[in-house]
Amino acid sequence: MGDPMACRILLLLLATWLAVLSACDTVPYTERKQVIVIPQNQERAMGARAAREILRTVRLADDPKLVAAVSRVGRRIAAASDAPDMDWEFHVIDDDRVANAFCLPGGKIFVYSGILRVARDEDELAAVMAHEVAHALARHGAERATLELGAQLGGALVALALGDEDPRLAEIASRIWGYGTNLGLVLPYGRKQEYEADAIGLRLMDKAGCDMEGAARFWENMRRADAPKPLSAFLSTHPTDEKRLERIRRDIREIRATRQKAREAAPLRP
């Protein structure tokens, strides 16, 4: 019965629909629903591969104080994220002219030494690390790759495109995470993902016992007219504006209010 071609297309659509349904995830802390068709182990493998590629091509900072600070603050935030299956790594790329940071899937975080000209104390540095850890937790890279896949292939083909050997996936991954030859290829996240990483990052800072005001100070430093030149790199992937700062300040107030309420509701200790 029926046209076998139409039948095949129908089956394909059904398979895709099932794949999309089963891939519906919830972002930790914000509870936003997201669709990711890239399995977590594959996402991690791509992140690890990209990290190796980057480590092969960049010069790492050798200032032990700087490296220790980034690693210490990064681990503190990562511990608060309570994601034991993540394989966190924190690297400092030696380039004072670049004030930027980025995160590869699975928790490989890279910070350029130039960021320390903007993040001037440990709470401000914690804001950067928490923002990047949040991108990994919320699987923003894989979410973006899913969108790209969808856009490129059309819904019905997404499910078929996930073979390990698929060159299109590798191509998309290399564009998104920039592990080709040019590090500048790391694409900016969408504004929604940026705001979400800010919001999750603040909660991680609070859980880790950092001063959340560090985030507001960091973004103010970024905006300051007399800020050093290398800022442009971070700004190109992390747009900052009054709205972003407003949201950060509002989130800080909300997190504090929630904490205060929980404290009041808890029975007094004898």
Residues known to be catalytic: 132
Nearer to Zn ion, 93 or 197 (CB): 197
- Look up residue 196 and give its DSSP letter: H
Stretch touching Zn ion by CB under 5 A, among 33-41, 163-171, 194-202, 210-218: 194-202
Q: In angstroms, give the least distance from the CB of 265 to Zn ion.
A: 34
Nearer to Zn ion, 51 or 138 (CB): 138
66, burial (CB in 10 Å: exposed 0-12, middle 13-18, buried 19+): middle
Stretch touching Zn ion by CB under 5 A, among 72-80, 112-120, 160-168, 190-198: 190-198
Q: In angstroms, give the least distance from the CB of 194 to Zn ion.
A: 5
Nearer to Zn ion, 102 or 179 (CB): 102
Nearer to Zn ion, 123 or 194 (CB): 194
Total residue count of the chain as it appears in this document: 270
Stretch touching Zn ion by CB under 5 A, among 31-39, 61-69, 71-79, 197-205: 197-205
Contacts of residue 186, defined as CB under 8 A and 6 or more positions apart, other chains included, come to 102, 176, 177, 178, 237
Distance (Å, whole) CA 77 – CA 206:
9
Q: In angstroms, give the least distance from the CB of 56 to Zn ion.
A: 24
**CA-CA distances (angstroms) from residue 51 to 108, 145, 147, 177, 189?**
7, 17, 22, 9, 18
Distance (Å, whole) CA 65 – CA 81:
24
Burial track 8-25 (b if 16+ CB lie within 10 A, e otherwise): eeeeeeeebeebbeebeb
Q: In angstroms, give the least distance from the CB of 124 to Zn ion.
A: 15
Distance (Å, whole) CA 203 – CA 27:
13
> What tokens does 230 get?
């290398």
Q: In angstroms, give the least distance from the CB of 2 to Zn ion.
A: 49
Nearer to Zn ion, 197 or 205 (CB): 197
Stretch touching Zn ion by CB under 5 A, among 24-32, 191-199, 239-247, 248-256: 191-199
Most distant CA pair in the chain, distance:
77
Binding site for Zn ion (CB under 5 A): 197
